[in-house]
Chains A and B, each alone.
Chain A
Amino acid sequence: GAVVSQHPSWVICKSGTSVKIECRSLDFQATTMFWYRQFPKQSLMLMATSNEGSKATYEQGVEKDKFLINHASLTLSTLTVTSAHPEDSSFYICSANRQGKNIQYFGAGTRLSVL
């Protein structure tokens, strides 16, 4: 069964609004979670590393004020796309490592469409 839950799976919003995506580790604690973005027919691009209790680490070129990440507990990280625009439409997917394990498990992803 799934070990990482992501919600919502699909969201449509108007341009200028903000959208929050949740990522939960289901039966383990995750001090670190990862957020990726994927364009159609392309590979996953790491956006940021979410660290429990501290600031997220963003990859080069990713606007931290645009993509707000909060990792307030050991099982939950959220990504908020602020003032979304049509160019933010994409597939966003999160992942987490079980502590002490090499495997990185992914959520089911969120398809964001900004009108």
Chain B
Amino acid sequence: AQKITQTQPGMFVQEKEAVTLDCTYDTSDPSYGLFWYKQPSSGEMIFLIYQGSYDQQNATEGRYSLNFQKARKSANLVISASQLGDSAMYFCAMRGMEYGNKLVFGAGTILRVKS
């Protein structure tokens, strides 16, 4: 079974609008971490936001927030007030003991912000 699923290969969003990038995961671990990374065309992987499975509140970092729905095993990334510089590939990732405590990545979603 797919461990991390990102169902949106590509997304468009108008500048200054909000966008949600979907991520669902599969694990039987009670303790795990969920991550979102941004990869611009330069290739670097930029850490955006982290959510622990026991965290009671949704994580937020500036314009990024993580919509964590544990029962549904989803961890969607919400980017508010999109900027042209947000155009990039976005990866959802998970780490837990079930997968050897290694970071497991989804297939990614390409986001394009339109002016």
Interface residues of A (CB under 8 A from B): 34, 42-44, 46, 49, 91, 93, 95, 102-109, 111
Interface residues of B in 32-48 (CB under 8 A from A): 33, 35, 37, 42-47
Establish whether residues B106 and A43, one from each chain, have CB atoms under 8 Å apart when the complex forms.
yes
Establish whether residues B103 and A46, one from each chain, have CB atoms under 8 Å apart when the complex forms.
yes
Residue in B35, B43, B95, B107 whose beta carbon sits within 8 Å of that of A43 in the complex: B107
**Which chain A residues border B107 with CB–CB below 8 Å?**
42-43
Interface residues of B (CB under 8 A from A): 33, 35, 37, 42-47, 50, 52, 91, 95, 102-103, 105-108
Establish whether residues A109 and B50, one from each chain, have CB atoms under 8 Å apart when the complex forms.
no
Establish whether residues A108 and B37, one from each chain, have CB atoms under 8 Å apart when the complex forms.
no
Overall SS of chain A's interface: strand
**A-B CB proximity, top 4 nearest:** A106-B45, A109-B43, A108-B44, A43-B105
Establish whether residues B50 and A108, one from each chain, have CB atoms under 8 Å apart when the complex forms.
no
Establish whether residues A44 and B42, one from each chain, have CB atoms under 8 Å apart when the complex forms.
no
The CA of A106 and the CA of B91, in the complex, are separated in Å by: 13
Separation in Å of the B6 CB from the closest CB of chain A? 9
Separation in Å of the A51 CB from the closest CB of chain B? 13
Establish whether residues A91 and B43, one from each chain, have CB atoms under 8 Å apart when the complex forms.
yes
The CA of A100 and the CA of B102, in the complex, are separated in Å by: 15
